Every structure is written in C-alpha cells, then in structure tokens.
Structure 1
Amino acid sequence: MDDPTDYLMADELILTSGFPFLEHVADQEWIDRFIAKLVQAKASALGFGLEPYFSSIPETVRIACARHGLTLLQIPTSVPFAAIGIAFAKLMEADGAAQLRSNAEANRALMRCISHLDPERQLVATLSQRLKGSVRLTNASGQTRFNTTIASIATLDTATEAQMIQDAFQATGPQPFALHRQDSQVHLTFPIRAAFSPSGQSPLLGALSVGFSRTPSAFDHHLITSALGLLEVLARERAASSAASSQLATSLLFRSHTALDSETLNYLTESIGSNTHQALRVAVISPLGTARTTETNFHLAHVHALFDTRLAMRRDDHLIALTSAEPATDLFERLKSNGYLAAFSTPAKLESQLGERLGDLLAQASGLLPQMLERQQCLDAASIPRTFASLLPAQAGRQLAEEELAKILELPEARRDLYLDVLHGWLEANGSWDQASKNINLHRNSVRRHIATIAEILGKDLNQAQVRHDLYLALKFLTAT
C-alpha cells in the first residue's frame, strides 16, 4: 500500500517488504513524507523485511526514520511475517489474560470496600490507588464528601470543577460524563443518580471526579464504571436509609421544644451532611402533579437525596425536611425538574438552642406553603417580608377581600370607586378626619358622611380595631396586581 495510515490504529508495528519504496528509494523527500505519515498515525515501529526486493535497508529509509523518531527494525529472511503475526497473537493473548486477572483483582478490591466501616471513603481511596489518579466524591450540591489527591496531578480551580459537575449532570448517553483537558492531564466527571422514578426523572445523588496525568485506558474506564455502580448503590442506601426511623427521628426533634445536648447535636449535624459552620433550615416540600400519588417511601428517598439529609417525614400531603442546603436558583431548578416545590425557613445556627426553635422554623416554612402552591415556585422565607398579609396567597386574599367588600363592589361604578377611595384614605389616616380629608381631597364633613354610609352598607362597626384591620387588608389585596 502506498499509504496505509488511514487503516492504522495507535501503537501498531508496520511490516513492509519494501515494495512501496521501489520506485522512490532515491527520493528522500518522498520517503520522509511516508515515514512522517506513519509517525502522525502513531505507529510504534517499522519492520523492514529483507528480500525479495532489498538485501539491506535503504539509507534513505534509515535517515527518514532517524529524523522523525520512528523505531526501525530489520527483519531477516529467516523470519517470515507470518511468524511475527503468530508471536504477536500469543503476546496479545497473554496480555489479555493478565489484563483480565488485573481487572478481576481490581473489582474484588472495590467490592471489599462495601464491607468497610466507611465504604465510600475506602472506595475513593482504593479507586485512586488502582487508577493512579486523583479521585473526588461530591454530593448533589457539588460539596466535596471525600477526596484523594496525587501531587503530580494539578487540582482544577473551583469554577472549572463546578462547571464540570454541572455538565456531567446535564450529559446524556449510556455513560454520561464531562471531560476537561489541561496540558497533558485529563479530568473526567461522572454523575451518580438515584433509581428512576415513575415519571422518568432520576434525581442526582452526587458526582465522581477523576484526574489523570495521562490519557485514561479502557481498563481505567472499566474500573470507573464498576466504582460508579457501587457508589450509586451506597448513595441510594444512604439517601433512603430507613423510612420509619427517619420519620420518627424527625418527628421527635420537632416535638422536643428543648435545648439539644452535645451528643444529639452531633447526630443532627451528621444526619444533614453538614458541619457546625453551616446553618440549618426547615424545608416544606410538595410533590407536583401525578407524583403526589406515589408512595411515601419513594418521595422520602428522593428528598433524602435532593436535600442531602436523612431527616425527613411525611405530613398530610407534603413532606418536611431538616437540611443544610441553601435555597438558591440552581437548587430551585433542580427540585422542580425532579417534580418538587419547596418552601424554606430562615437559617438557624447549629447550636444547642436550635431544639427550642425548630417549631418556629417549621411554622415559617409551612406558612409559605399556600403561596408556593399558588405561584408554583419555590420560596425562601429569608427573601419574603415577614408580615401577616404575606402568609396568605394573593388569589386567596383577593377572594376573601371580594367577600368582605361585596356590598360596596355591587354598587354603581362611580359610587363604588368613591367609597373605596374614601375608606382607603380614612384607614390610611388611622381614622383621622383631617388627615383623611387631605389624603382624598374631600371636606372632612363629606368624609364623615361617607364613612357612616359605608359602615351602614357593610353592616360593620368601624370603631372596632379588628374591623378596621380586616378592611384595610381587604383593600390591600383588592388593589394588588
């Protein structure tokens, strides 16, 4: 063949009888191009057979191989090419058997990690040792759980690591992953997912990141696949734990209303995958659509994974979780894409007095539940003004306002608008006739007369503070856009 490079794989030994060189043996430029193509195709060596065309290797071939760094072998007539092929096949067979033994031993080493007291940490360490690479295990929020580094492999910057995890979570295919090359180093990130749900969603449990100072081999990918399978099993078990014990522990914490001793606080911190420097929030979670009818244990397993916590329970038609997850846009999007909405309380420090505040945090998050369902979006109590009016959904508030002011709203348009303006101005002035007169640009006696008429129409005593308060809120909801 004049040019075999289109058919070559990397690291192949090329055997030639010298026939392609017959017409070009004196053309150094042509032979240089031929050898350069072999090098570009990553051939490992050129085996030049003597006879029937040449009795020795041409000098032009020697010069080209030396110039381009290609190993050159002289094959005597006593060694036929078939013998080389047979020897190579035997070597491949022996190498394959050794590779199978190595694979089996590596898989056994990974399997032994399952029985370790800390299986995920041990599995990460064993995988790093077998791959001779850096390995990092993160949770669904991208926080590092276990990490093994190698000095010769550079650590990626935080932004690149976060982007790779995001890319891995969005990747598709039989084995999705994200790839990043940096000089001679290769970094791979694989998603770890929960079991598929009836709706086809598969919540993320975390990510496995591996760094190499070389191009990973087929053996490396095989080992990573095995490790991913084991990590998914461990992560699902950790996320699901025992539904009954999880709900019991969560319920008892909310019912305690007392300060937590140091031992209980430590258990709480470990159960939400946190440390003492992070804050705790109560999240009230509602499944969306048809997912509501799914059994409780399924939802609990997903909540454990999505919020990286073991403390969750079912209450009525929603779930409650204790979590250190911070409410942010990416978390909100991840929850909704997996079929859930959540309302978060304000954060609280992980300290002994937390036990006395859990009921208040639960009330905060539960108070946002109606608004969350009406808006169909996740909410954070820390970003919503804390008022009594804020606890009532806009639609429900408007409906109540229309019922409260129904007799005014039934009047002709001109009189209706006048009475609404007078009532609002008078309530804004806290019952002051003079201030109300200024607010709505009417004589104080006209204000008095209109307020008396409004009270008669509504059948209410406007001298009572509660009545005025209810009417004021009704007007607020009525005029809200």
Structure 2
Amino acid sequence: MTPVCSVVRREGVAELSVPSRDTRQFGPPMPASLRTLLDNDRARLRALTPLDDEILDRPLSWVHSSDLLDPTPWLEPGNLLLTNGAPFSGTDAADPRAYAERLRDAGVAGLGFATDVIHAEVPPEVVEACAAAGVPLIEVGRRAPFIGIIRFVADLIAADRAARFTWLLDAQRAVARAAVRDDGLREILRTLARLLDTWVALYDGAGARIPLEGIPSAPPVEEQRVAGETRRLLERATAASVQLPAPGGAVLQTIGRSGGLRGVLAVGARAAFDPAEKDLVATVVALASIALDQQRHVQTSLRTVRSGVLELLVDGHADAAGRLAEAVFGALPAGPTTVVTLAAGAAEPGLLDELDVIMTDPGRLFFAERGGDVVVLAIEGDDVISSLVARRRLVAGSAVHLDGDDLATTLRRADLAAREAPAGTVRAYADIAGSGLVGALRERGGDLIAASLLRPLEAVAPGERRRLVDSARAWLDANGAWDPAARGLGIHRHTLKARMAQLEQVLGIDLSTFSARAELWAALQLTG
C-alpha cells in the first residue's frame, strides 16, 4: 500500500510528514483517521483490537496525551488519546475495564499505548478491557515520540480544512457560474448534484415535486419518505433544515422566509455532510431563494403578457398573438394541439411556478391565466400535463385544436369537459361529445330536470300513467303522425289523440309546438 506519510527528523525529533494534496484532482480530501496512521509502515503503530472500516475511517478531531487516571474531563469525542502506560503501573493503578469504559462513554476515537517506556508490552488486561468496551487500541512501539503523531494529525487536520475550504470556494464559483445561465435555477441544482455526486429534488410551496430534467432524482424507495417530510416542513411554515437518517439519507432545507416558504430542497446524503458540503448546500438554498423571488417578480409580469397572448388567440388575432409570443416566450405550439383547462388553477399553490419550470421549450407548451382558470396549449400527445393533473389532483378538461379551428370554440369545449371531470383526471371533450346531447344533459344533471317536468304524472294511476308514456313515445317516434303511431300501439287513432290530449293537460304543455315535443322527448330519454 502506498504510504500516506513518512518519517522525517527535525531538530533530532522523529516526526511524520504530511504529503501535499491536490484538491482539484481528488476533490474533498479524507480527514485524519486511524487508517492514515496505521497505513504508514514507518509510523510504528500496530492495532491490538479488531478494527472495521467504520472505526478506521472515523475522523480524528485531535490527538491528546495524558497519563491521568481519568483524562476524560479533558477529552472530546473523536480524540485519539496517547498514554505511556503510567495509569496502569504502581500501587494506585487504574482499573483497565473502568478506564476503557470511561473512554468509550467520552466518545474517544482510540487509545494509543506506548511500549518500551514503562511497559515492555501492552498489559493483556488492558487489551481485553479495550476490546470489551469497543475502544480501538493502538500500540505505539519503539519509543516513537508522541509529538510526531500529534504534529502529523494536526498537519493533516489543517491540510484537510484548507483543502475543503479550497473545494468549497471552487464549488461556490461553479454554482455562481451556473446561476447566471439562461435556466439558472435548474443549472444551480444540476451543479450541486454533480459536485456532491448525489440526487437532488425540488418541491414547490404546496409540497409537489417539480420535475427537473437531466438531474438525478431520489430513488423510488426514498421519494415517499422525503415527500412526507417535505409536507411536514411546509405545514410548519417555519424555515428549517432536517437530516433524514440512512439508509438512503437526505438533507431537507426549506426555501424562503418563515411564514412565506417557497418550497423545499432535498439533497441525497449517504453520510452526514461535512461543514464544507453543508456550506455548499446553504449557498445553493440562498441562490435558489433569490432565483425564485426574482422569477416571481418577472413571471408575474410575464403572466400578464401570456394572458394577453391568449386573449388575442381567442379573439382570432392569431398572427399578432404569434408575433408577441415569439418575441417574449418563443414560438407557440404548432400543428394539432391539445387545449387543457385547469379549473381554478390560478389559485392552486405553486402551480404557476411549476409550469414556469416545465415550460423550458416554448414550442412544446404554452400556458396562461384566464378568469381564475389556467389554460394550457400543448403539442398533442404530450403527457406532461396529464402527469401534473394526476399528481396534484387537479380538475381538468381537454379538447383537440386543429389548424384553422376557432380557439374560442375549442376553449369552450375544454371548459365544458373540465366541469364534468373528476379530480386527478383530464376529461376529454371527445368523450362527452361521443355520448350525444342526451348523454351530455344526463352528465350535467338533466335527468333531475326531466324528472321535475314529468312529476305531475305521479298523480295518475300506475296503469294509466304507463299507457300515457308508451303512447307519447310511439307518437314522438312516428314524428307526430297519428296513424302509424296508433297502428304500432294497436289502438284507434282517436284513442291516441285522446291520450295525448290528457297528457297535455296533466303536464301543462302544448304539444302542437316543436319545442314542447322536443322537451318531452328529451325528458322521456333522460328518465328512461
């Protein structure tokens, strides 16, 4: 294994030297750890207790030497303690088991025990006590000076901090460059995902995940947990940060001020972020917040322009609308398009912001507010709006618009379909038109009106009521011709005329007019 350090002599004292680090090549460096000490053949260190990767790679916060019977008041978690063995010699020697347990409880990263000073070897009872307590025990052999180990670790810590600071500056510069690109917000998040080699998810103020093409998303097994925690953060309406533990951990940070949260940024974290990585995430959150605020002011103005473009289209000024849209947004969707009405969409939290993010290709999608609704023009066959409606449980209707069609008419069709749509589904106007006028009336409650029109018949005896209804159906099916209808019923035409006169009297209508006949026919169809 290639040594990570070497032994040099300075003023007669053997020391470990720290190699230079090229952070541009290696990225954020690994901190000082037991592995960096043990991997050097000339460091005179040897592990006496089993060490797994987690223990070996645990960062060392400092190295402290002490021969007190209880040094823990002067220790901090992550410290490596060095002793020459004095606590375990003499009449008042420390109890190895109690000593090791105190070190464990203090969060000490390991115990370095020097031999050839007081003890020729590490006492077996100390080895057993450290193994039982889970405290890593390292033998410091051949009278290796503690100052060399301390300086080595101190230099590594300093080099690690400097390297991470350099990495952070480079990362912040990369994020700043991304922020000034055309699609700044998306580029910022793409850069963050690349620098941390992880997934990134952005949620709007309503807790809906905003699609981010080209950026790794959370694994499906984690997405539900992240989405649930996101909703909890937004419900609290307070700026906060949350660390979700492994497996599949993540850091969630709200965007915006307390009481006015704009969303939540979630970043995958297989392990806890170090300070440099936390600072980078904080930088991205700050830039994202600024970008979203700037977008809000700009988009508010642009949405007014969008509404103007839509009104021009509805009024039949397609050329003027196309020129205005192309100058501000880019080309409108061309060819066969789908017009979608998102009922009351303008009041849906975060919907317009999400549409702003989705609309990266103007020739693919256009949207505008209209009377509290949101109208979307999309290339036919594009399912991005269907996915949006399903995820947000929106009420939406659609209609196909062909070149040369009147957009006002197409929009009315989409509006009608939206009024008949269940939440979370885009109702197509073609489905309503396919059921005919009676079907459309039935879906809109026409059967209730029909029942009210025919309610006077309830006062007639059941047998007589049946004869009146059957006679009316036969007469209307015969287009009001008496003889064919009477023959079909097997009665005389005067009898049929008498029945229809009785029906006019009961219902209070004049069947000599076409409108009354049409209304009676529709009522009979709707009531079955």
**TM-score of Structure 1 vs Structure 2, range by shorter chain:** 0.5 to 0.7
Q: Are 2:179 and 1:130 aligned?
A: no
Q: For the Cα contact (< 8 Å) 1:15–1:47, is it kept in 2? A: yes
Count residues with an aligned counterpart.
Answer: 428
Q: Are 2:292 and 1:243 aligned?
A: no
Distance in 2, Cα, partners of 1:346 & 1:208: 37
Which residue of structure 1 lines up, in the alignment, with residue 179 of structure 2?
114
Which residue of structure 1 lines up, in the alignment, with residue 54 of structure 2?
none
Q: Are 2:67 and 1:13 aligned?
A: no
Which residue of structure 1 lines up, in the alignment, with residue 241 of structure 2?
175
Distance in 2, Cα, partners of 1:402 & 1:20: 99
Q: Are 2:326 and 1:234 aligned?
A: no
The Cα shift of 1:188 comes to 3.2
Unaligned runs of 5+ in 2: 1-67, 360-364
Distance in 2, Cα, partners of 1:71 & 1:466: 102
What do residues 410-462 of structure 1 show as CA deviations (whole Å, max 9, x unaligned)?
A: 56x44186676556545655535999999999999876543331224445443
Which residue of structure 2 lines up, in the alignment, with residue 320 of structure 1?
375
Q: For the Cα contact (< 8 Å) 2:75–2:106, is it kept in 1? A: yes
Distance in 1, Cα, partners of 2:105 & 2:489: 87
Q: For the Cα contact (< 8 Å) 1:283–1:322, is it kept in 2? A: no
Which residue of structure 1 lines up, in the alignment, with residue 517 of structure 2?
468
Q: For the Cα contact (< 8 Å) 1:281–1:347, is it kept in 2? A: yes
Q: Compared with structure 1, are the counterparts of its residues 271 and 304 closer, same or farther at alpha carbon in structure 2 (3 Å cutoff)?
A: farther
Aligned AA (2:455) = L
Distance in 1, Cα, partners of 2:507 & 2:286: 69
Q: For the Cα contact (< 8 Å) 2:171–2:195, is it kept in 1? A: yes
Aligned AA (1:388) = L
Q: For the Cα contact (< 8 Å) 1:50–1:56, is it kept in 2? A: yes
CA RMSD of aligned residues (A): 6.2
Distance in 2, Cα, partners of 1:45 & 1:113: 43
Which residue of structure 2 lines up, in the alignment, with residue 454 of structure 1?
503
Which residue of structure 2 lines up, in the alignment, with residue 252 of structure 1?
312
Q: For the Cα contact (< 8 Å) 1:312–1:321, is it kept in 2? A: yes
TM-score, structure 1 as length reference: 0.61
Q: Compared with structure 1, are the counterparts of its residues 99 and 422 closer, same or farther at alpha carbon in structure 2 (3 Å cutoff)?
A: farther
Which residue of structure 1 lines up, in the alignment, with residue 342 of structure 2?
284
Aligned AA (1:305) = E
Distance in 1, Cα, partners of 2:291 & 2:426: 31
Which residue of structure 2 lines up, in the alignment, with residue 290 of structure 1?
none
Q: For the Cα contact (< 8 Å) 1:113–1:119, is it kept in 2? A: yes
What do residues 28-86 of structure 1 show as CA deviations (whole Å, max 9, x unaligned)?
A: xx9799879979998543133689x9455524278668999744447979969xx96x9
Q: For the Cα contact (< 8 Å) 1:370–1:392, is it kept in 2? A: no
Q: Are 2:431 and 1:431 aligned?
A: no
Q: For the Cα contact (< 8 Å) 2:115–2:140, is it kept in 1? A: no
What do residues 83-102 of structure 1 show as CA deviations (whole Å, max 9, x unaligned)?
A: 96x99889878866775665
Q: For the Cα contact (< 8 Å) 1:137–1:146, is it kept in 2? A: no
Distance in 2, Cα, partners of 1:2 & 1:389: 94
What do residues 142-177 of structure 1 show as CA deviations (whole Å, max 9, x unaligned)?
A: 6442326xxxxxx976x4365466445435372357
Bigger-Rg structure (1/2): 2
Q: Are 2:250 and 1:188 aligned?
A: yes
Q: For the Cα contact (< 8 Å) 1:368–1:381, is it kept in 2? A: yes
Which residue of structure 1 lines up, in the alignment, with residue 124 of structure 2?
60
Moved more, 105-114 or 258-267: 258-267
The Cα shift of 1:249 comes to 2.8
Which residue of structure 1 lines up, in the alignment, with residue 397 of structure 2?
344
The Cα shift of 1:127 comes to 1.9
Which residue of structure 1 lines up, in the alignment, with residue 55 of structure 2?
none
Distance in 2, Cα, partners of 1:440 & 1:236: 75
Distance in 1, Cα, partners of 2:438 & 2:260: 36
Aligned AA (1:145) = E
Q: Compared with structure 1, are the counterparts of its residues 72 and 409 closer, same or farther at alpha carbon in structure 2 (3 Å cutoff)?
A: same
Q: Are 2:448 and 1:382 aligned?
A: no
Q: Are 2:188 and 1:147 aligned?
A: no
Q: Compared with structure 1, are the counterparts of its residues 194 and 168 closer, same or farther at alpha carbon in structure 2 (3 Å cutoff)?
A: same
Choose the corresponding residue for 2:392, options 334, 345, 349. 334
Q: For the Cα contact (< 8 Å) 1:283–1:320, is it kept in 2? A: yes
Which residue of structure 1 lines up, in the alignment, with residue 273 of structure 2?
216
Q: Compared with structure 1, are the counterparts of its residues 461 and 334 closer, same or farther at alpha carbon in structure 2 (3 Å cutoff)?
A: same
Aligned AA (1:223) = L
Aligned AA (2:80) = L
SS of aligned partner of 2:282: helix
Q: Are 2:221 and 1:160 aligned?
A: yes
Q: For the Cα contact (< 8 Å) 1:190–1:207, is it kept in 2? A: yes
What do residues 273-298 of structure 1 show as CA deviations (whole Å, max 9, x unaligned)?
A: x999x9744123226xxxxxxxx7x7
Q: For the Cα contact (< 8 Å) 1:13–1:47, is it kept in 2? A: yes
Q: For the Cα contact (< 8 Å) 2:398–2:413, is it kept in 1? A: yes
Distance in 2, Cα, partners of 1:460 & 1:318: 41
Q: For the Cα contact (< 8 Å) 2:312–2:320, is it kept in 1? A: no
Q: For the Cα contact (< 8 Å) 2:103–2:135, is it kept in 1? A: no
Q: For the Cα contact (< 8 Å) 2:395–2:424, is it kept in 1? A: yes
Distance in 1, Cα, partners of 2:439 & 2:212: 37
The Cα shift of 1:345 comes to 0.7
The Cα shift of 1:105 comes to 5.2
TM-score, structure 2 as length reference: 0.57
SS of aligned partner of 1:344: strand
What do residues 207-255 of structure 1 show as CA deviations (whole Å, max 9, x unaligned)?
A: 655465x553343233223323433443565576222222123333444
Moved more, 381-390 or 65-74: 65-74
Distance in 1, Cα, partners of 2:265 & 2:144: 57
Distance in 1, Cα, partners of 2:397 & 2:328: 18
The Cα shift of 1:366 comes to 1.1
